[in-house]
Structure 1
Amino acid sequence: MSQPADTKAVLALLRERVGAAGSHRSWAASVGLSHTYVCEVARGAKPPGPRLLAALGLQSHTVYTLAPREAAHA
């Protein structure tokens, strides 16, 4: 099983790929995404969607965790 990545790790990977491509516009074009959308994700204005995650070699999964007992009874 692979390691989970948090939002910071996803954004760091996005910055790395954008840097290697030379610009948001170049990377976005190379993976078939809008450069505006890529910029919005890179600055945290939008969450990364399935197509952007796939372009980074990632996928999202929903994770459920137990709530602390105090919160469960509130």
Structure 2
Amino acid sequence: MRNKLLTTSLFAAAALFTVAGCSSNQAVKTTDGQTIVTDGKPQVDDDTGMVSMKNAETGKTEQINRDQLKSMGELDN
């Protein structure tokens, strides 16, 4: 019983750290000089070339064409 509880606790902790590690903010720089801070990692649609992201400042989901992006990088939280 004790081993089962310990194993379950370890799996729960590992899952929590995995989810927390994936939710870091990103800085997206556009070709026109704008910087957008996103809440989490932007999602790229390879079929349409659009990048979807949640703006950390406004909370709204935005899309931008991949051709209009200069760089994307993870921010230190």
* Greater gyration radius: 2
Larger % of helix: which? 1
Common topology (TM > 0.5): no
Larger % of strand: which? 2
Which of the five TM-score ranges fits, normalised by the shorter chain?
under 0.3
